[in-house]
Amino acid sequence: MAKNVKAPAWLKRRIEDAWTIPTLDVLFAMLMLLVMLPHAKADNPSDPPPGTLVVEIVWPFAQDADVDLWVAAPGDVPVGYSNKGGLIFNLLRDDLGSYTADILPVNYEVTYSRGVVDGEYQVNVHLYRNRGATLPIKVVVRVKLNQNNSTRLLHTKNVALETQGQEITVFRWDMRDGQEVAGSLHDIPRALRPAIGPM
């Protein structure tokens, strides 16, 4: 009859370790995978983050004027107050001037892009309404490029709107592989508002 043989303490420890260590390793690996998955998705460079191109305009708060920012991306419809979203750009804020109560004493509009595709970009400003009746309306226009966790000022210009209804082409330039094409910047006028229909 077989006798119950007790394994020595050192052997029992080895057997327990043989199961425990790989099991802990697997559990640890699974835990790390769970922890890393969301970060891996957020850090994926193929996901274009919002705000790659930021276009903004500022005009004096003392002037009760409704200036509109219009932008166009390659192959997309122009984006402005009456068409606030396209495939690439979104208008985040349509400032009506002093017509409505603002929390901050600033006239400011801003448009964000999701990523940058190759082709021509354009920025226009339009004086939609001028309740204050003082002219001109001096507008600061800025284009910023956010890449690799840093922001670079791509273009800036001061323009003056002289009459109600005037639309000025401020910038037209080409982007390729996420960078501005050298020498492509110009401001040959091209209206953007009529492209999306009657307003």
Q: How far is the CB of 126 from Ca ion (least distance, A)?
A: 8
Based on the shown chain and the rule CB under 5 A, indicate whether residue 102 belongs to the binding site for Ca ion: no
Nearest residue to Ca ion, by Cβ distance, number only: 68
Q: How far is CA 120 from CA 72, 74, 161, in A?
A: 8, 5, 24
Among 94, 102, 174, 187, binds Ca ion (CB under 5 A): 94
Q: How far is the CB of 112 from Ca ion (least distance, A)?
A: 16
Site size toward Ca ion (CB under 5 A) is 4
Based on the shown chain and the rule CB under 5 A, indicate whether residue 64 belongs to the binding site for Ca ion: no
CB neighbours of 180 closer than 8 A, spacing ≥ 6?
145, 154, 173, 174
Based on the shown chain and the rule CB under 5 A, indicate whether residue 66 belongs to the binding site for Ca ion: yes
Closer CB to Ca ion, 66 or 167, in the complex: 66
- Binding segment for Ca ion (CB under 5 A), chosen from 25-33, 64-72, 155-163, 181-189, is 64-72
- The sign one gets for the Cα dihedral 38, 42, 45, 48 is positive
Q: How far is the CB of 160 from Ca ion (least distance, A)?
A: 17
Among 68, 123, 142, 161, binds Ca ion (CB under 5 A): 68
**Contacts within 8 Å (CB) and 24+ apart, 138-141:** 138/59, 138/60, 139/57, 139/58, 139/59, 139/67, 140/57, 140/58, 140/59, 141/55, 141/56, 141/57, 141/69, 141/170, 141/171
Closer CB to Ca ion, 95 or 180, in the complex: 95
Closer CB to Ca ion, 95 or 167, in the complex: 95
- Binding segment for Ca ion (CB under 5 A), chosen from 44-52, 62-70, 84-92, 133-141, is 62-70
Phi, psi (deg, nearest 5) at residue 68: -115, 140
Strand order in the sheet with 65-72: 65-72, 119-130, 167-176, 179-180
**Residues near Ca ion (CB under 5 A):** 66, 68, 94-95
